[in-house]
Amino acid sequence: MAVEDSSSSGSEQAWLQVVHTFIQKNLCSTSKDPCIHLVEAVVDCVKAIWASSGGTGGLYLPLSYSFVSVQELRTHQHLPCCSHLAWSSTEYQTWANKAGLDRVPLPRERLILVGTLTDLPGDLDPELRDGSLYVKDNSGTLDCELLDLNLSWLGHLFLFPSWSYIPSAWQRSLSGSGHLELLCPPVPVLPLGFNHDPETPIRVLYPEIAFHLLQHRSKFRRRQLHLAGQLVRLSTLVKTHGKTYFILSLGGPSSATTPVPIIVQIPSQLVWHHALRPGHSYVLTNLQISVIRGFSNRIWATGPSSHLMPLEPEHVQEFNVEELILETIPNLLPVPSSSQEHHNSIREVRMLSYKGTVTKVLNDSASLYELDGQLCLCLAYQQLPNNGRAIRPGAQLELQDVHFFQSVGGVPTLAPCLRGAVLLQGFSQQESLKQSPHSFCGVVLHLRLLLERHMGLPLYLWTARALEEITSKLCPHLLKHHQLLKSSASGTAGLGELLLAPTLDVLAPPGRSIRNVYQEIVEDPHHCPLQEYSLLQPPCSFPTLAALKEDAQCRAWATFDPMTLLPLTEVNHLPSYVLNARLAWSWVCLSPTFFQPPPVLLGVLVASSHRGWLQLRDQSGSLPCLPLPEPSQAFIDPRLIGSLVRLERFQLVVEREVKSTFPSWKELGIPGFIQERRTNIYVLFSLADALILPIHSPSSHHPSPRGPPQAKFPRLEGPPKGQSRLLLLSHKECLMKRNYQSSQGADPLPPKPTLSFHASGTWLGGIQRKEGNDWGLPEPLGDESQDQKVFLLFFGQSVRWFEFLHPGQQYRLIIHDSTFPGLLKEGDSSPLSQRILESTGFTSCLIVQDDWILEPGNPQGIPGMLGISQGLSESSLTEILNGSSPGSFVSFSAEILSRTRCVSLSGTTQQGNSQTSRYGVKLTVALDAADVASPIPIDVYIEAPHSPLPLGLLPGARVYFQHLEKKVSRFQNVYCRFLPSSYLRILSFPTEAPVSSSLPHIYLAELQGDSLGPSPASASCHVVSVLSVQLLWICAHCTSICVQGQCSRQGPPCPTQASVSQANIRLLVEDGTAEAVVTCTNQQVAVALGLCPSEWDSLMELVRIPGKVALHTTRAGAQSEVTSKTDDPLMFFLQTLCSSPSVLRPVFFTFELKRKPTRVMPLEPPRLHRFQFGEIPVLTRVVPRLSLSCLSLRDPEPPDILSS
């Protein structure tokens, strides 16, 4: 006996003693005597394998090896490993080298594993068997995979000479343990019983006949028959409705034989799936024809007494076919030719077989792999048992009957459906794990989407990619993987599914059709979801915010062309400071359709206390945003903060700011004159277009390592304590840096300006305290007559409320902490608030603390509080345009017509000595009033210190302004200034396609009188005379006259010698109803003079020599008087031209009133004019002529002769 071998050394004795104890504990069924024999058998088995390994080093026993139990592997082995008792180091090295140069092979442990091979999971009900294999000892069971199973091995004790152990990455999965990969056939510890050959040959049916019997069930319904044939098709193990089964098909030696399908659904027979190899021949005994629910045709099925055995021709005999056929199918032969058609149809769906090695896991949740470094393998359409856990990088596969796609998403792809077989041909040598810890819930989600929506492969691949994009955007800092991927237990969709649903509902609505398993596996012509192959235009993508911003920025600057931003007819008359100012600000609006595929915006809505903006945020960064509930409504609900926002419709705005020094229009093509470019990117969206999904933010547990910390909104969880008070907000001041101290220190003097804002309003009722889940009735006010006005001061963290607070809205201010019971009533008594009270005249002042909460106010339950709401106050048109009270405040809503950069008003006055001029924004907005024919433009100046500028101040947007200062310019025009105490709110975004309306055609008399006529408008007139012409060349830099192309400025010479031409002409026109003086400029002058472009250019070249030519005519009677010297040929030409019929002719022009509606000068009264009729002087009252600015000018259309 080995244990008592006298020649063994002490260490061997000790080793054997340990082995004895191990076997006693883990392998013996009882603790009695027979164990000695088992130990002996095991040790003999070990010795035999050890001796054959060639790496013994002269030892009889593998002393460096130790026995390991199943339980020890499960609990202590956290890293993948392998063990090879039968291999020498060289053999291991050869095997490990197959892993590849850049791959880590499985590390070798010296462990001996002995156990029983079984298909019974633990001590569970045998009916629960699902075809999985296990290794079992007294300590437990462990899942295992092997390449070729001999059914006679089941239930026997084996020593496993070579195996790998792969611990599970899915710690939360059901099994919670890893699995074994058995690399070599196991070695039986005790001799296996012999399979006796049957004494009498088995009478079998061959597939051809068996197939026909399926059509004629009646006589054979109860009869058990044996089938023999070659395995031509083996389906995967299918699990539906809690039942597991597989279908195999036996065929004949000729490919013309129609394969006959056999279903195996007896739990104890599912393990056959491991033993069956396509191409081999088998006998299956005691089969019956049966009808399976959900299957349209009859099928052969195994019974509890069925057996599987290899086909040995000497032990079988064909059933009496003659008798059978005559009995059942009188007109059978010859075999129908349908089988040939079946094979044709199989070819049509492009199925093939392939052998290859898995080189990469492309997406473990979506079951996507890379094969041989060049193919994509999608295993999602085939339910692999245990999710194909052995399919890791390095595993060798044989694929049979799989669909082949030349190019889906650019890569050739193999995808087996339930018909195809994925056979493991070799285990991986690599250490790499198949799954990431999160992939388990991902796999479930992918499968769920695939099955519920019956997706074809292109859509499935897109879905997998979209989920990958979403995951990388949000997990793990904003959302945990399981929050995104998991479906809730009640079967409702999880976040990931909800985010994809709007897109998928269009392409693949759920519940379209159910996959027919039988049809997919057995029937010809083949039918499965993988055949529905059509090229899919990616419906959308989920780019990271950083990538989207970068893309938008690139597109915006790619379209930035100074030449196209400014019309050429206009640009060549502009001096450089005008030119550069016009280029200083421009914007582009990119809608999702600008991108391919259109992006879906996805992020968590956060409020920034650093900029006061709202932002969408993902792991890559953030994007400022401006949401509007509906046009004209204010966004007041901060409870949306922290929610996930998904947007398909939005406007991505890119504002471009340029600092340039173009000397004149001629250099516009030279990018070197652009010194600085700045970009502001943000998004405008309507809440109605957004899918808003509330999430429980994990960020409190996992603070984002990047970016500034975001203001967190304390959430009301559970019944809140504390006090609250309703507030009607009447005014909010703008967000800017003010001299407050952000910390509540004792020193009231500010260390530096802090971003802050003020709001004021009125308390509605008294303090309310929490009663259960509701607020109690308001406490009675101490003094009803006391002023309930309150002044609120926000800085530091509380700046985050800025976007939610709007005048006219009700809010509830909530203070959780009840340690200051009188806070809301008495006001803050800090020195800062005392100072504010003194300077503002309010009776109470609150400094809003970081943990205070503002909610949309709901006055429900408070007597007398219902229906209090305040509209936006608007000043009347007279109040706005009346110039008598400059310095007063006005409020109005208007549409922005244009936005330009301007030098800040205060920047020039207060900081006149500063070299850097500060820039502000000039908005020209259109006031619309019911009693005026056309909108009245008015300028609003927002000066530089008001940083950050509000988002969405774009031409076409409607804005409400409150508390603007009204001013009158030195040209007597009314304009407005946005002050630190002013408020503005975007009412609606610019429409994506601005509607251009044609101008009204009028008679000039319509413009006379007190009412404001339509302007701009168009009119058809006759040119009566030319009042003046001025042609000049000016220096593009300093606008002095250039004589012979040289700037005439005295003092320091100009840095450039660029000159631009300018021209203006004043025409007296009449249309039979009234007269008007029209001023035309630049290019319009050429049209007015009736000159073609080349004639105009020649004329201007002649003007270059004197630098300026001016012709003034006065109209006294019918005489024109020229006030310039007439001996100059150029003057003579102009004079002649201006009195010729080529100028004095009918014209069609568009114009606007020169006197702006915002100009406060009273209308000129009719004045007395002296005329001389021969000797007699006549005094006549003359209505002042209309003064118009020309917008465009052309010859009238020739009258349509045919229609007259």
Residue 38 DSSP SS3: helix
Residue 238 interacting with Zn ion (CB under 5 A)? no
- Asked if residue 602 lies in contact with residue 644, where contact means CB atoms within 8 angstroms, the answer is yes
Q: How far is the CB of 840 from Zn ion (least distance, A)?
A: 51
Q: Which two tokens stand for residue 15?
A: 């080793």
Residue 690 interacting with Zn ion (CB under 5 A)? no
Residue 1047 interacting with Zn ion (CB under 5 A)? yes
DSSP category for residue 105: B
Taking the least distance from each CB to Zn ion, the nearer of 531 and 1120 is: 531
Q: Which two tokens stand for residue 38?
A: 């088992």
Pairwise CA distance, residues 918 & 901, whole Å: 10
Q: Which two tokens stand for residue 815?
A: 């203070």
Q: How far is the CB of 919 from Zn ion (least distance, A)?
A: 23
Which residues neighbour 521 within 8 Å (Cβ) at sequence distance 6 or greater? 233, 235, 238, 247, 261, 418, 419
Q: How far is the CB of 351 from Zn ion (least distance, A)?
A: 7
Residue 455 interacting with Zn ion (CB under 5 A)? no
Each residue 518-537 as x (binds Zn ion by CB under 5 A) or -, in order, gives ----------x-x-------
Residue 658 interacting with Zn ion (CB under 5 A)? no
Taking the least distance from each CB to Zn ion, the nearer of 49 and 1038 is: 1038
Q: How far is the CB of 508 from Zn ion (least distance, A)?
A: 18
Stretch of residues binding Zn ion (CB under 5 A), selected from 556-564, 646-654, 950-958, 1031-1039? 1031-1039
Residue 1038 interacting with Zn ion (CB under 5 A)? yes
Alpha-carbon 319 to chain mean position: 66
**Residue 594: which region, alpha, beta or left (left: phi > 0; alpha: psi -120 to 50)?**
alpha
Q: Which of 470, 1054, 1099, 1138 contacts Zn ion by CB under 5 A?
A: 1054
Stretch of residues binding Zn ion (CB under 5 A), selected from 198-206, 564-572, 1026-1034, 1054-1062? 1054-1062
For 698, list phi and psi in degrees, rounded to 5: -85, 0
Stretch of residues binding Zn ion (CB under 5 A), selected from 387-395, 915-923, 1038-1046, 1126-1134? 1038-1046
**Distance of CA 1164 to CAs 192, 883, 932, 1146, 1171, Å?**
123, 16, 20, 28, 20
Residues 400-419 that bind Zn ion (CB under 5 A): 417
Q: Which two tokens stand for residue 216?
A: 């004629």
Q: How far is the CB of 349 from Zn ion (least distance, A)?
A: 6
Residue 1037 interacting with Zn ion (CB under 5 A)? yes
Taking the least distance from each CB to Zn ion, the nearer of 419 and 473 is: 419
**Positive or negative: CA dihedral 610, 807, 962, 784:** negative
Taking the least distance from each CB to Zn ion, the nearer of 576 and 962 is: 576
Residue 289 interacting with Zn ion (CB under 5 A)? no
The secondary structure element, H or E, covering residue 111 is strand 111-118
Taking the least distance from each CB to Zn ion, the nearer of 530 and 711 is: 530
**Distance of CA 12 to CAs 200, 726, 779, 929, Å?**
52, 87, 90, 106
**Positive or negative: CA dihedral 825, 826, 830, 831:** positive
Pairwise CA distance, residues 555 & 589, whole Å: 10
Residue 811 DSSP SS3: strand
Q: How far is the CB of 516 from Zn ion (least distance, A)?
A: 11
Taking the least distance from each CB to Zn ion, the nearer of 351 and 391 is: 351
- Asked if residue 355 lies in contact with residue 400, where contact means CB atoms within 8 angstroms, the answer is no
Q: How far is the CB of 530 from Zn ion (least distance, A)?
A: 5
Q: Which of 769, 1049, 1104, 1159 contacts Zn ion by CB under 5 A?
A: 1049
Residue 1021 interacting with Zn ion (CB under 5 A)? no
How many residues bind to Zn ion according to rule CB under 5 A? 10
Measured CA angle at 120 (ends 114, 123), to 5 deg: 95
Residue 607 interacting with Zn ion (CB under 5 A)? no
Residue 108 interacting with Zn ion (CB under 5 A)? no
Q: How far is the CB of 247 from Zn ion (least distance, A)?
A: 14
- Asked if residue 272 lies in contact with residue 151, where contact means CB atoms within 8 angstroms, the answer is yes
**Distance of CA 1114 to CAs 1118, 1135, 1139, 1173, 1190, Å?**
10, 13, 13, 17, 21
Taking the least distance from each CB to Zn ion, the nearer of 342 and 1049 is: 1049
Residue 641 interacting with Zn ion (CB under 5 A)? no
Dihedral of the CA atoms 950, 956, 960, 966 (nearest 10)? Answer: 90
Residue 1035 interacting with Zn ion (CB under 5 A)? yes
Residue 1036 interacting with Zn ion (CB under 5 A)? no
Taking the least distance from each CB to Zn ion, the nearer of 417 and 954 is: 417
Residue 189 interacting with Zn ion (CB under 5 A)? no
DSSP category for residue 101: T
Stretch of residues binding Zn ion (CB under 5 A), selected from 340-348, 683-691, 981-989, 1028-1036? 1028-1036
Q: How far is the CB of 403 from Zn ion (least distance, A)?
A: 6
Q: How far is the CB of 405 from Zn ion (least distance, A)?
A: 12
Residues 360-379 that bind Zn ion (CB under 5 A): none
The secondary structure element, H or E, covering residue 893 is strand 889-903
**Residue 528: which region, alpha, beta or left (left: phi > 0; alpha: psi -120 to 50)?**
beta
Taking the least distance from each CB to Zn ion, the nearer of 181 and 520 is: 520
Task: Please report, as ranges, the residues that interact with Zn ion according to CB under 5 A.
Answer: 417, 528, 530, 1035, 1037-1038, 1040, 1047, 1049, 1054
